Amino acid sequence: MAQRLEELDTTVKREMARDKEIKRRILIAGFLLHDFEKFQYDLFPGMPEKYIDINKNPDQDIRKLSIAEHQEIFRVMVPLLGLDKLINPEKTESWVEYLEDLLFIAYNTQKRNDTNLNLSESGLNPKLGDRSLICLSNLTLLADLLSSIIKHPQDAENSSLHNIIHQLSDGKLELSYHSIAENRGVLTNIVNNAVMAAYQNINTEEEIYYQPLLYLPTGVIYLIQKNSPPISESDLPELVVSKIKELCAKQLRLRKTGFGRDGKGMKYADYYNLFFDTVGLIEVALEATLIILHSNKESKAKSRSDNLVKFQQQQILSADYNFRFDDDLRIDRIAEFGDVLTRNIWGEVVNNIDKARKQNKDLPELLANL
């Protein structure tokens, strides 16, 4: 009995998933067809001549034709557009079962006087239920409004958008936006991203209060839960600065601009300290070392070996180590990276610690063996 119930539960879940998927496919196909009168009918092989003539005549309206005539048009268009394969890839001819569902969505995507929401009066006999069809047509209407109305963030206040989202979400969701007064190119893009991050930082694992929906040149439109908490405007300046640093660091890591090598070893521009912490700078320095000392570079390792041996003979270095080695580019890389790491990167850390200790005498001294 338990096994039978488990099999039944699996079957139900499978059927629910299939039903959800077919509705999603009908939604997409319906949206693609919702302006069916605007297609150029003479490009469709097999389209009856009378519809081509009406389509070319600006004084006639394809939408004023009967349902039977619209069905005839869809029977030509759907297979040629490949929507039969979208609706059911495994059994393409079965799309005809949803012909009147597609018509219903196409009729009702645009809120006009000739819509057919009343199935009992329209003469349509769709396969999907009334509630599902109305929901699908509302979704296609929303998509149509978003594509045709949204040009500025303030368009989120459009009453048509508000009403349709209210219906689709049972009054739980609405649109909101942030807008930027002036478009300053890259800077505007950075500010946009920072403000968007401020809104998304309010979200939790349990609740998504702000979901970015449309990214526009001077703002972002969000789908939000009603009564969502507001952002803290005092945090925005720091977020903007953080975004600028993030963008600059990404470009510096990509290009390694400011890294070079002269007779005194590897060096980098001071501005790297503005955009990287110590660990990040070490990583970039390693990448730059491998690029500058590429495989075609001539090794100077033997010269380094001779100097080290000389220091041993002068008892400056311990005699316990063997510093004799031949030319090997790997040794040059280790030497150059070790130099920039200890002399430049760690040296800057030590300088910052010394400055901090001068301002605060209670800070401990650096350990000598560091």
pTM above 0.85, yes or no: no
Per the prediction, the chain carries an average pLDDT of 88
* Per-residue confidence band for 263, with pLDDT thresholds at 50, 70 and 90: confident
Token pair for 133:
């069809």
pLDDT of the residue at 2: 58
pLDDT of the residue at 352: 86
- Measured distance CA(223)–CA(247) in Å, rounded: 26
- Measured distance CA(166)–CA(131) in Å, rounded: 16
Query: To 10 degrees, what angle do helices 236-255 and 278-292 make?
Result: 20
At residue 30, the 3 state secondary structure works out as helix
Query: If you ran DSSP here, which 8-state letter would residue 34 be given?
Result: T
With CA atoms as reference, report the closest residue to 299 among 272, 319, 329, 279: 329
Is 112 a residue whose pLDDT tops 60?
no
Would you say the C-alpha torsion 285, 288, 292, 298 has a positive or negative sign?
positive
Question: Sheet holding 210-216: strands in order across?
Answer: 173-179, 219-225, 210-216
Other beta carbons less than 10 A from residue 273's beta carbon:
16
* Per-residue confidence band for 9, with pLDDT thresholds at 50, 70 and 90: low
- Measured distance CA(167)–CA(267) in Å, rounded: 62
pLDDT of the residue at 345: 92
Of residues 44 and 367, which shows the higher confidence score?
A: 44
Is 114 a residue whose pLDDT tops 60?
no
pLDDT of the residue at 113: 41
pLDDT of the residue at 363: 85
The per-residue pLDDT for range 277-333, each reduced to its tens digit, is 999 999 999 999 999 999 898 998 899 899 999 999 999 999 899 999 999 999 999
Of residues 185 and 318, which shows the higher confidence score?
A: 318
Q: Strand pairing partners for 177?
A: 221
